[in-house]
Structure 1
Amino acid sequence: MLSPVPVIVAAVVVLLTGWTLVDPIIGAGIGLFIVPRTWILLKQAIHILLEGTPPEVNVALIEKRLLELPAVTAVHDLHVWTITSGLDAMSCHLVIDDMGRSSAALAMAQAILRKEFKLNHVTIQIEDYLLRENEPEIRF
């Protein structure tokens, strides 16, 4: 946004003094000013494209808070990623010991994620503890 100012200054210097070397010097200066910001933007874009966990999100703390909920016995497949700048998403599975309390556990989980972790785009799968305990182990 500020790059026209040095370009205008360079043009005035060339007009008044005839020193044409000022133009490439100013151009190189603008380039050096832009490179660090471009690098930061590129890193952010790659992080988003690779669905990396946002640096400000503590996944272990999210898991701990979800495990503190009544009826929740386990949390697994917990993932947090950035969809776009300023919009993070989360998905996980909650194992519930009493499916009669699953709606309450889901509502509490969503409230905690929204208020404490600023996660509004959340997908939570509820699993029955009894069904999970009786699952046959799959080996490959």
Structure 2
Amino acid sequence: MAHAKHDHTGHHHHGASGNIKVAFFLNLGFTILEIIGGLWINSVAILSDALHDLGDSLSLGLAWYFEKVAKRGRDQQFTFGYKRFSLLAAVINSVVLLVGSFIVLSEAIPRILDPEPVNAAGMMGFALLGIVVNGAAVLRLKKGESLNEKVVRLHLMEDVLGWVAVLVGGTVLYFFDIPVIDPLLSVAITLYVLYNVVRNLRQSMKILLQATPPNMNPREVEEKLVQLPGIQSIHDLHIWTLDGTYNVLTLHAVVAPGLQVQQTEAIKKHLRQAMADMDIQHVTVEMETPEEVCSHQGQL
């Protein structure tokens, strides 16, 4: 079996771990503060945003940890490396947020029917603080190039927008006695969190179940490969992704019998290049002649 060569090293930015660490402590400290403040102000909208921030704190903490874990590379126990551990983190994070969302909804929905008074000035103060803290974390990650930093930055931008909504709600409550705005804001924020959690959980489960990456079509991959010089047909083709960005392909290629070493190397070089153009980073190919009977063909 011939294995296509590829780069295992990857590109890790020294600043990524430090940037995520600062954003993590900013977010976690503020999350604790807003849980206390939400209970004091009696605002379920702030508690809903606290849940959102708690989820982002978990994401930041796990991203910070996995930024370091990813540098370990592969070993005898995990021959594909540690990339898939980030999926485990995503599932844990999703479960925590699902439970938290249902707790917040169970508190907010009854309040729509029976609104309670809210400290509007305190709500506005926390919203402004939330915009400043999350905005500072976004600026810290603004120049980050790693995937972790980009994903985390997106989450924090969502938080800033969430706090803008709370600020608007608090301002309305300050001037008008409409206490139902607070639980309505809470339900809206929580439903938004739930939507993203379910979407992320579905993506994580598909990756764990080794589904074909959404941006790839095995039939199109096969059609492109059989057009390469020297390849007669393709079978036993499998595509999956380790973590949503690092894609893996295995296949059996039927070639003419009696090829010279230089000819097989040329075929593999063309195949590697074609797959790199299709965003497949790890390729394993087994070459066969038409006379060979493949033990795997037709099994899957």
Question: How many residues end up aligned between the 2 structures?
Answer: 133
Runs of 4+ with deviation above 6 angstroms: none
The CA deviation at 1:45 is 1.1
**Aligned residue number for residue 274 of structure 2:** 112
Percent of residue pairs identical: 26
- Determine the C-alpha separation between the residues in 1 that align with 2:270 and 2:252: 14
1:124 aligns with 2:289: no
Alignment counterpart, residue 60 of structure 1, candidates 210, 219, 230: 219
Structural mapping, 1:5-84, within 5 Å? 5-17=164-176, 19-84=178-243
What do residues 45-85 of structure 1 show as CA deviations (whole Å, max 9, x unaligned)?
11111111122212112212222233323312101112212
The CA deviation at 1:24 is 1.1
- Determine the C-alpha separation between the residues in 1 that align with 2:183 and 2:273: 56
Q: Is the 8 A contact 2:249 2:283 kept in 1?
A: yes
Give the secondary-structure state (helix, strand or coil) at the position aligned to 2:242: strand
Letter in 2 for 1:125: E
**Aligned residue number for residue 99 of structure 1:** 259
Which stretch shifts more, 67-76 or 39-48?
67-76
Q: Which has the higher strand share?
A: 1
Structure 1 residues 51, 104: closer, same or farther in 2, change over 3 A? Answer: same
What do residues 78-99 of structure 1 show as CA deviations (whole Å, max 9, x unaligned)?
0111221222221111122233
Bigger relative contact order (CA 8 A; separation at least 6): 2
The CA deviation at 1:11 is 3.8
- Return the TM-score normalized by structure 2: 0.39
Give the secondary-structure state (helix, strand or coil) at the position aligned to 1:27: helix
The CA deviation at 1:22 is 2.3
Structure 1 residue ranges without an equivalent (≥5): none
- Determine the C-alpha separation between the residues in 1 that align with 2:183 and 2:228: 63
